[in-house]
Amino acid sequence: MALLQLSEPGQTPDPHARRIAVGIDLGTTHSLVAAVRHGVAECLPDGDGRVILPSVVRYLDGGGRQIGFDARQAQADDPENTLASVKRFMGRRLADVTGADKLPYRFVDQPGMVAVETRAGLKTPVEVSAEILATLRYRAEDTFSDDLYGAVITVPAYFDDAQRQATKDAAQLAGLNVLRLINEPTAAAVAYGLDNGSEGLYAVYDLGGGTFDISLLRLSRGVFEVVATGGDAALGGDDFDQALADWALARAGRSASSPHDKRAVLVAARAAKEALTDADQAVLACELAGPPLAVPVSRAEFDALTRPLVERTLSAVRKVLRDAKVKREEVMGVVMVGGSTRMPAIPAAVGELFGRAPLTNLNPDEVVAVGAAIQANALAGNAQDGELLLLDVIPLSLGLETMGGLVERVIERNTTIPVAKAQDFTTFKDGQTAMAIHVLQGERELVADCRSLARFELRGIPPMVAGAARIRVTFQVDADGLLSVAARELGSGVEASVVVKPSYGLADDQIAQMLKDGFASAEVDMAARSLRESRVEAERMTLATRAALAADGELLDAAERDSIEALLVDLNRIAAGDDHAAIDSAVERLADGTEAFAAARMNRGIQAALTGRKLNDL
């Protein structure tokens, strides 16, 4: 006879109870995956021991793909089908992509987002990113020989709503459960701050392959509060390569017009730039149509020709200090993140601005993924202390179009998320029964200078004289930094709302279709996957509810407790079957049935927070 297995309330007899959660840095030039193993966050290597995966995807004849080093190797030989740095195109139209004419791709402008024509058909940046994410997901699953519970994915702090949504879509397409999108500088600060036990105000200077971020964070007992953030979503190491390539071509009196030549000169420029990190001299050399190109370049020349790019980053730093109303002397340390900060001119310029040498003791390539892994581990409920809390901000102001093509700001940039804000508007014509709502993001006053996020219409307003209707528009930004907008006429109660994704990003049914088409999960049986996911969710809810009952059960009277117990028994019975829809609805019933209990517990938590503070004051 088998022994009865006993377990404490809130614990689980399941040996796989520790949930595998990873942090993924989806970078412009390369991507990494990290996880907490044996209490230490570290990047996971591939079969050859390399932690870096070049963010390059090559589409081959016959439906095959190369991802990573092999694809990067083939860039100059097969430039049109080998897509690199697609992060720069995420959530962007062709008109938004600077220097598109210098890239070897066959761009196709599409509503919502630019795409690239390849031999495997039209590919969006979301699909290409999903290939990279899926590769990292398989690497993590192979490492742990287990399914992933979820992932925290990092985005540049300066990414707008469209770019964040596109990133989340890519993750979904790669079959990843996104626990949270977090900002790259915040992730770096987590890795850095937890490592050093730092407190106070820190700046994170993050210059990657294609994006630049500057963030100010206040670290205080495990709370990482972003004070202000800024940057340039289209400025990175790639621009230094391009500047050097243009300079070398001009100096040699040559040009690069074919896709092969364009890519070859960029690859050579990148190699010369990297050589100049340690050497004072390098030669930019490559094969072009006609005689080969070989242009010697000194570090001083390189620094001079890229100085305007460095200046752009410094100007963004000064703006963030002004935004935060912080003096540069108050900053206790400057953390350098991103491979581009290896260029010697960068730490020198940043050090000069802040009057202190930047901190470079963590690997600038790995620090973001490591920080994301620490947060993923905490969100999966694996962290022992639960001390870590990230309080992030929205990077760009959100607003609405008003009369005359002007933008009325509803939420200012650098507001801590989650946040919701309502603003009242009225009709301007007698008998007006509909109102167009145009949602914008940006700092400029004219609609034409801001990014359009969504348009929708509130219809069915009862006819009234102009100015009599009261239309309340509510903006809500969740903890991932994603926006939803609702409008409601207060007199009649007519409503309309939109989760901001139609003008950029993919609709849910498009994603469902792509998943069905076998993308990124060719060998996975979708039905089995849904069932497994539903069971995991049922288990998760059961454990959470049991833990809550154990901690705060006395908040319930006997009848309330019985009804929750009944829901638990019900869910347990249904989860043993294989109808995933039935399991989902039983989970939903338990969620609804515990809502009042959750509210009571929240209240107790708040009381405790206040009491704790008052005790500290004594």
CA angle 173, 174, 178 (to 5 degrees): 85
Give yes or no for residue 420 binding other proteins (CB under 8 A). yes
**How far apart are CB 602 and other proteins at their closest, in Å?**
6
Active site residue 325: no
Active site residue 146: no
Backbone dihedral angles phi then psi of residue 405, each to the nearest 5 degrees: 70, 25
Of the pair 108, 610, the CB lying nearest other proteins is at: 610
Give yes or no for residue 11 binding other proteins (CB under 8 A). no
Specify the 3-state DSSP secondary structure of 298: strand
Of the pair 143, 220, the CB lying nearest other proteins is at: 220
Give yes or no for residue 541 binding other proteins (CB under 8 A). yes
Report 152-191 residues binding other proteins (CB under 8 A). Answer: 179-180
Of the pair 249, 587, the CB lying nearest other proteins is at: 587
Asked if residue 154 lies in contact with residue 181, where contact means CB atoms within 8 angstroms, the answer is yes
**How far apart are CB 391 and other proteins at their closest, in Å?**
6
Of the pair 163, 476, the CB lying nearest other proteins is at: 476
Asked if residue 392 lies in contact with residue 64, where contact means CB atoms within 8 angstroms, the answer is no
Active site residue 96: no
User: CA-to-CA distance for 143 and 49, rounded, in angstroms?
Assistant: 12
Which of 191, 204, 227, 587 binds other proteins (CB under 8 A)? It is 587
Give yes or no for residue 479 binding other proteins (CB under 8 A). yes
How many residues sit close enough to other proteins to count as binding (CB under 8 A)?
Answer: 56
Which of 300, 389, 468, 527 binds other proteins (CB under 8 A)? It is 389
Q: With CB under 8 A as the contact rule, which of the stretches 205-213, 281-289, 294-302, 472-480 interacts with other proteins?
A: 472-480
Active site residue 25: yes
Which of 38, 327, 429, 613 binds other proteins (CB under 8 A)? It is 613
Q: Which of 387, 375, 385 is nearest to 188 (CA)?
A: 375
Give yes or no for residue 394 binding other proteins (CB under 8 A). no
User: CA-to-CA distance for 530 and 535, rounded, in angstroms?
Assistant: 9
Asked if residue 134 lies in contact with residue 142, where contact means CB atoms within 8 angstroms, the answer is no
Give yes or no for residue 98 binding other proteins (CB under 8 A). no
Q: Which is catalytic among the residues 160, 161, 169, 206?
A: 206
Q: With CB under 8 A as the contact rule, which of the stretches 50-58, 84-92, 231-239, 473-481 interacts with other proteins?
A: 473-481
Q: Look up residue 431 and give its two tokens.
A: 């008998």
Give yes or no for residue 603 binding other proteins (CB under 8 A). yes
Asked if residue 203 lies in contact with residue 383, where contact means CB atoms within 8 angstroms, the answer is no
Give yes or no for residue 419 binding other proteins (CB under 8 A). yes
Report 312-331 residues binding other proteins (CB under 8 A). Answer: 315, 318-319, 322
Angle at which helix 184-196 crosses helix 367-379, to 10 degrees, equals: 80
Report 424-443 residues binding other proteins (CB under 8 A). Answer: none
Q: Look up residue 560 and give its two tokens.
A: 């309330």
- How far are the Cα atoms of 105, 206, 500 from residue 232, in angstroms, in the given order? 23, 11, 22
- Determine which helix (DSSP H) or strand (DSSP E) holds 223, and give its type and residue range: strand 223-232
Give yes or no for residue 565 binding other proteins (CB under 8 A). no
Q: Look up residue 199 and give its two tokens.
A: 């407190």
Give yes or no for residue 379 binding other proteins (CB under 8 A). yes
User: CA-to-CA distance for 10 and 378, rounded, in angstroms?
Assistant: 17
**How far apart are CB 107 and other proteins at their closest, in Å?**
29
Q: With CB under 8 A as the contact rule, which of the stretches 267-275, 288-296, 376-384, 447-455 interacts with other proteins?
A: 376-384
Q: Which is catalytic among the residues 46, 184, 239, 366?
A: 184
Q: With CB under 8 A as the contact rule, which of the stretches 240-248, 252-260, 396-404, 474-482 interacts with other proteins?
A: 474-482
**How far apart are CB 431 and other proteins at their closest, in Å?**
24
Give yes or no for residue 553 binding other proteins (CB under 8 A). no
Q: With CB under 8 A as the contact rule, which of the stretches 48-56, 192-200, 217-225, 423-431 interacts with other proteins?
A: 217-225
Specify the 3-state DSSP secondary structure of 78: coil
Give yes or no for residue 470 binding other proteins (CB under 8 A). no
Which of 391, 499, 536, 555 binds other proteins (CB under 8 A)? It is 391
Angle at which helix 558-575 crosses helix 526-552, to 10 degrees, equals: 160
> Residue 599, Cα to own-chain centre: how many angstroms?
30
Q: With CB under 8 A as the contact rule, which of the stretches 198-206, 216-224, 231-239, 505-513 interacts with other proteins?
A: 216-224
Of the pair 357, 608, the CB lying nearest other proteins is at: 608
- Determine which helix (DSSP H) or strand (DSSP E) holds 497, and give its type and residue range: strand 495-499
Q: Which residues pair with 497 in a beta bridge?
A: 486
Q: With CB under 8 A as the contact rule, which of the stretches 190-198, 260-268, 362-370, 610-618 interacts with other proteins?
A: 610-618
Q: With CB under 8 A as the contact rule, which of the stretches 99-107, 270-278, 365-373, 476-484 interacts with other proteins?
A: 476-484
Of the pair 53, 214, the CB lying nearest other proteins is at: 214
Give yes or no for residue 380 binding other proteins (CB under 8 A). yes
Q: Which of 261, 249, 232 is nearest to 103 (CA)?
A: 261
Q: Which residues pair with 35 in a beta bridge?
A: 22, 42
Residue with tokens 């102009």: 466
Sign of CA dihedral 445, 449, 452, 457: positive
Specify the 3-state DSSP secondary structure of 300: helix
Q: Which of 503, 533, 532, 506 is nearest to 517 (CA)?
A: 506
Give yes or no for residue 8 binding other proteins (CB under 8 A). no
Q: Which amino acid is at 502?
A: P
Q: Which of 52, 121, 125 is nearest to 88 (CA)?
A: 125
- HEC secondary structure over 313-377: HHHHHHHHHHHCCCCHHHCCEEEEECHHHHCCHHHHHHHHHHCCCCECCCCCCCHHHHHHHHHHH
- Determine which helix (DSSP H) or strand (DSSP E) holds 175, and give its type and residue range: none
User: CA-to-CA distance for 316 and 552, rounded, in angstroms?
Assistant: 48
DSSP 443: S
Q: Which is catalytic among the residues 46, 87, 273, 366?
A: 87
Residues found near other proteins in the complex (CB under 8 A): 179-180, 220-221, 223, 225, 315, 318-319, 322, 378-381, 386, 389-391, 415-421, 476, 478-479, 540-541, 543-545, 548, 587-588, 590-592, 594-595, 598-599, 602-603, 605-610, 612-614, 616-617
| Residues classed as catalytic | 25, 87, 184, 206
